[in-house]
Amino acid sequence: MSTHTPVPPIPLWRTRCRSAAPRGAILVLSILALAAVASAARLPAVAAIAVTAIADAPVRGEPAWSPYLVGALIGVLSMLTFYLSDTPIGVSTGYARVAGMLGKVVAPRHTESLAYYQKTRPIVDWEVMLLLGTVLGGVLAAGTGDQLTGEWLPPLWAATFGPDSQALRIATAFGGGLLLAVGARIAGGCTSGHGISGTLQLSIGSWIALICFFLGGAAVAFPMFRG
């Protein structure tokens, strides 16, 4: 029943393809590959933009900008997304849509049958572009600030678990990411969707979720690093 649902006309790259998933997945993957190469090779063509970079010499590891400036600008950015896109900032749904696009490549019918993907379609939309942009923004900012890390182990991790703990770090990062996604989907948002966009609208559920984010995080971080 769901195999022949009419698809609305989509501009640009998608003219004849019945399913957006493969092309969407390819687009997403290629942009990510680009970002990976850029950040790994520290090649930022971004260097060109370094001219406009803020003229401070950031100490490695120190935030380049004041948290109040960054926070205020994120507040202004939120106003702009409401005004120009009628959408609050929220990053986690982008991952879910990308996961659905990848799922459609492997098991199209099964993916389309899932309740979540019937509500939140696995397509390239504003949220997916926001996610991709966030990765690119990270490349740009780190490139202009000479803060590209190119590291497997964050300093605090290496100091606690040793310099040869790559496998443990990868497993922990993956498992943590998995729980982040399940938790965000159950809670209805993540640190940006609930933690900034929801709270700034004084949504009660968002304040509850935000507090639980930090409670759950502290319950893990204390035994890991201060246990």
Partner 1 sequence: MSESDDKRSPRQLMLGLLFGIVFGFLLQKGGVAQYDVLIGALLLEDFTVFQIMLTAILVGMIGVFTMHALGFVKLHPKALKVGPNIIGGLLFGVGFGLSGYCPGTGATAMGQGNYDAWFAALGLLAGSYLYAEMSRKLDRTLGKWGDRGQLMATDLVNTPRALVVGAAALVIIAALVVVERV
Residues 39-58 binding partner 1 (CB under 8 A) are 39-40, 42, 54
Minimum CB distance to partner 1, residue 3 (Å): 18
State how far the Cα of 96 lies from the Cα of 204, in Å rounded to an integer.
Answer: 24
Q: Tokens 């035994």 map to which residue? A: 223
Q: For partner 1, which is the closer residue by CB, 1 or 202?
A: 202
Residue from 145, 146, 161, 227 binding partner 1 (CB under 8 A): 145
- State how far the alpha carbon of 50 is from the alpha carbons of 3, 34, 59, 155, 191, in Å: 49, 19, 16, 26, 29
Q: Of residues 113-142, which lie at the interface with partner 1 (CB under 8 A)? A: 114-117, 119-121, 123-142
Minimum CB distance to partner 1, residue 89 (Å): 6
Residue from 37, 50, 74, 163 binding partner 1 (CB under 8 A): 74
Minimum CB distance to partner 1, residue 105 (Å): 12
Q: Taking Cα atoms as reference points, which of 24, 19, 15, 16 lies closest to residue 4? A: 19
State how far the Cα of 188 lies from the Cα of 121, in Å rounded to an integer.
Answer: 16
State how far the Cα of 173 lies from the Cα of 175, in Å rounded to an integer.
Answer: 6
Q: Is 25 in the site for partner 1 (CB under 8 A)?
A: no
